[in-house]
Chain A
Amino acid sequence: MKEFARRMVGIDRRVIFLLIAMATLVPLLHPFGLPIKVSPEVKAIYDYIEALPERSVLLLSLDFDPSSKPELEPQAVALLRHAFRKNLRVIGMTHWLTGTSLADDIFLRVAAEMRKERGKDYVFLGWSPGAGSLVIAMGQDLYKAFPSDYQKNPTQGMPVLEGVRNLRDVDYLISLAAGNPGIEMWYVFGKDKYRFEMAGGSTGVIAPGLYPFLRSGQINGLMGGLQGAAEYETLIKQKGTATAGMDAQSATHFVIIVLVLLCNVFYFMLRGETGQQRTPG
Chain B
Amino acid sequence: MILASLLLLLLLLLEAPALAAISAPEGFLALDTPNDAGKSLSLVWKASPADRAGRSVQVWMAESPDAPFKKVAEFPSNTRYVKPGDFPWWAQPVSKGDHYVKLASSQAFPIEDGKPYFVKLLVREGDQEVWSEVAEATAAPNMFNTAQANNLVFVVAFTGILLASIAAARRNPHVHLRRIAGLDAVEEAIGRSTEMGRPILYLTGSGGMDEVSTIAATVILGEVAKKVAHYDTGLKVPHRDPIVMAVCQEIVKESYIAAGRPDAYKEDSNFFITSDQFSYTAAVDGIMLREKPAANFFMGSYFAESLLLTETGASTGAIQIAGTDSDHQLPFFVTTCDYTLIGEELYAASAYLSREPVLVGTLRGQDIGKAFIMSVLVLGTALATVGVVADTGIFNYVLDLFKDFK
Contact A280 B406 (CB under 8 A): no
- What CA separation (Å) do A13 and B328 show in the bound complex? 24
Please tell me if B303 contacts chain A, counting CB pairs below 8 Å. yes
**Is A7 interfacial (CB-CB < 8 Å)?**
no
Q: What is the chain A residue whose CB lies nearest that of B314?
A: A281
Residues in chain B near residue A209, CB distance under 8 A: 327-328
> Which chain B residue has the least Cβ–Cβ distance from A163?
B107
Contact A205 B328 (CB under 8 A): yes
Of residues 124 through 180 on chain A, the ones whose CB sits less than 8 Å from some CB of chain B are 178-180
Beta-carbon contact of B406 and A278 below 8 Å = no
Interface residues of B in 285-327 (CB under 8 A from A): 303-304, 311, 314-317, 327
A195 interface residue (CB < 8 Å to B): yes
B303 touches A179 (CB 8 A): yes
Is B75 interfacial (CB-CB < 8 Å)? no
Q: Does B397 contact A (CB under 8 A)?
A: no
Q: Mark A179-212, 1 if CB is under 8 A from B, else 0.
A: 1100000000000100100000001011011000
Determine how close the nearest CB of chain B comes to the CB of A160; give it in whole angstroms.
18
Shortest CB–CB separation between residue A257 and chain B, in angstroms?
15
Q: Point out the residues of chain B lying under 8 angstroms from A178, CB to CB.
A: 304
Interchain pairs with CB closer than 8 A, number: 27
B193 to chain A, nearest CB (A): 15
Q: Give B370-403 as 1s and 0s: 1 = Cβ < 8 Å from A's Cβ atoms.
A: 0000000000000000000000000000000000
| Closest partner residue, chain A, to B317 (CB atom) | A280
Instruction: Please tell me if the beta carbons of A67 and B304 are within 8 angstroms of each other in the complex.
Output: yes
Q: Which residues of A contact B316 (CB under 8 A)?
A: 280
In the complex, residue of chain B having the shortest beta-carbon distance to the beta carbon of A279: B317
Smallest Cβ distance from A276 to chain B, in angstroms? 13
A178 → B minimal CB distance (Å): 8
- Pick the contact of B328 from A192, A195, A208, A281 — CB < 8 Å? A208
Interface centre among B277, B303, B328, by most A CB within 10 Å? B328
**B406 and A13: CB pair below 8 A?**
no
1/0 per position for A101-128, CB-CB distance to B under 8 A?
A: 0000000000000000000000000000
Tell me the minimal C-beta distance from B291 to chain A in angstroms: 16
Known: A67-B278, A195-B406. A278 touches B317 (CB 8 A): yes
Binary CB contact string for chain A from 1 to 45 against chain B (1 if under 8 A, 0 otherwise): 000000000000100000000000000000000000000000000
- Which of B315, B317, B327 is within 8 Å of A13, CB to CB? B315
Q: Contacting A206 at CB < 8 Å: which of B328, B338, B406?
A: B328
Instruction: Please provide the 5 A-B residue pairs with the shortest distance between their CB atoms, ordered closest to farther.
Output: A280-B317, A206-B328, A209-B328, A281-B315, A179-B303
List B residues at the A interface (Cβ < 8 Å): 277-278, 303-304, 311, 314-317, 327-329, 338, 406
The residues of A with any CB-CB pair to B shorter than 8 Å are 13, 67, 178-180, 192, 195, 203, 205-206, 208-209, 278, 280-281
Question: Can you report 21 A-B residue pairs in the complex whose CB atoms are below 8 A from each other?
Answer: A13-B315, A67-B277, A67-B278, A178-B304, A179-B303, A179-B304, A180-B303, A192-B406, A195-B406, A205-B304, A205-B328, A205-B329, A208-B328, A209-B327, A278-B338, A280-B314, A280-B315, A280-B316, A280-B317, A281-B311, A281-B315
